[in-house]
Structure 1
Amino acid sequence: MTDDATRELLLSRIRDVADHPEPGVVFKDITPLLADPKAFTALTEAFAELCARHGATKVVGLEARGFILAAPVAVRAGLGFIPVRKAGKLPGATLSQAYDLEYGSAELEVHAEDLDATDRVLVIDDVLATGGTAEAALQLVRRAGAEVAGVAVLMELGFLGGRPRLEPELRGAPLDALITL
């Protein structure tokens, strides 16, 4: 797993933005981390190691910040990258899943043909908050016929209860958070 020095490097590059996107929400801004090549490389390497450890054959990135993190991980790990997008953004046949999040509701989609029974998928996102987005993504991965290798997030906001919500949907697959707040 991630060592303390890497964890501290990553945490030092995450900025809190109060009242975004609405009052009372503290947004975790990862743009300073992305702008720092040492921190971004450390994050990519940590996630690529999880791909190998969990036997992933594909990486799913969740819109939007999960795309930024998962795409270089897929390249580094030598795996395919599958975007899970907001409803209406993908052309062609899709599977969709509605879900609730900490400040509203949304719907995710994946191309129906991008995953199949031969795939073991690591789902990557930036933050695990209440777990709604990750839960919907896991449901989509399974509905597409693939196996869930695990979920990996940069940060877990433990006080929002996402991990307990995900446990039934994980079905024993690991949930790895590089930083837990």
Structure 2
Amino acid sequence: MASKDSQDPRIARISSSIRIIPDFPKPGIMFQDITTLLLDTKAFKDTIDLFVERYRDQNISVVAGVEARGFIFGPPIALAIGAKFVPMRKPKKLPGEVISEEYSLEYGTDKIEMHVGAVQTGERALVIDDLIATGGTLCAAIKLLERVGVTVVECACVIELPELKGRAKLGGKPLFVLVEGEGA
């Protein structure tokens, strides 16, 4: 994996802790497995610390984590910067009243949902996930938050697969990533 900031030794540690699984879940996919990152307590802490250092002074009131791996990184970041954590879930996973946003997949569509009232107009949000590939899920999260009057300050991911051009789908929203992944 290529580093976004080769000067910071934490980036190299994070990058080297991410396991690549060829041909998973289907032939031709180079799966970026973060479970090995989570097993490395130093690399996991470094990941959280780098995000917290970036967002600590940006007046973010909401950390919106995209299901499911955004749920791993979002809560510790939210706690550290004094923000609330809002889960962005797949359909029929939240028990209360929800609003949803549909997005395109390679074949078909999917949705993400958020509880009505979880965020308020005027709040400032960070959207977090483990990886950006085609950008569909992050784009849907941005649209969902903006629909209810939230300002999305930035999106953040541990890994980016730049050859899939997901960054281009974010409508100009800034994207912060720690490492670039190998092959799609």
Q: TM-score, normalised by structure 2?
A: 0.89
The residue identity in structure 2 corresponding to 1:128 is I
Are 1:178 and 2:182 matched, yes or no? no
- In structure 2, what residue type is equivalent to 1:42? D
Mark the runs of 5 or more structure 1 residues left unpaired by the alignment. none
Task: Among all aligned residue pairs of Structure 1 and Structure 2, give the percentage whose two residues are the same amino acid.
Answer: 42
After superposing on structure 2, the runs of 4+ consecutive aligned residues of structure 1 that deviate more than 4 Å are none
- Structure 2: give runs of 5+ residues left out of the alignment: none
- Separation of aligned partners in 1, 2:154 and 2:169: 15
Task: Tell me which amino acid in the other structure corresponds to 1:55.
Answer: N
**What does 1:29-48 correspond to in 2, within 5 Å?**
29-48=33-52
Structure 1: which amino acid aligns with 2:152?
A: V
- Post-superposition shift, 1:21? 2.2
Task: Give the paired residue count.
Answer: 177
Q: CA deviation at 1:53?
A: 4.4
Secondary structure of the structure 2 residue equivalent to 1:86: coil
Report the Cα distance in structure 1 between the residues aligned to 2:77 and 2:106, rounded to whole angstroms.
27
What's the offset of the Cα at 1:90?
0.5
Report what 2:96 is aligned to.
92
Q: 1:45-94: per-residue Cα shift (whole Å, max 9, x none)?
A: 11112222433111010000110111111112221100000011001111
Is 1:143 aligned to residue 158 of structure 2? Answer: no
Counterpart residue type for residue 35 of structure 1: L
The partner residue of 1:51 within 55, 66, 73 is 55
Asked if the contact 1:87/1:107 (under 8 Å) is kept, the reply is yes
Equivalent residue for 2:137?
A: 133
Question: Which stretch has the larger CA shift, 53-62 or 103-112?
Answer: 103-112
The one-letter code matched in structure 2 to 1:125 is D
TM alignment of 1:1-181, pairs within 5 A: 3-101=7-105, 105-168=109-172, 170=173, 174-181=174-181
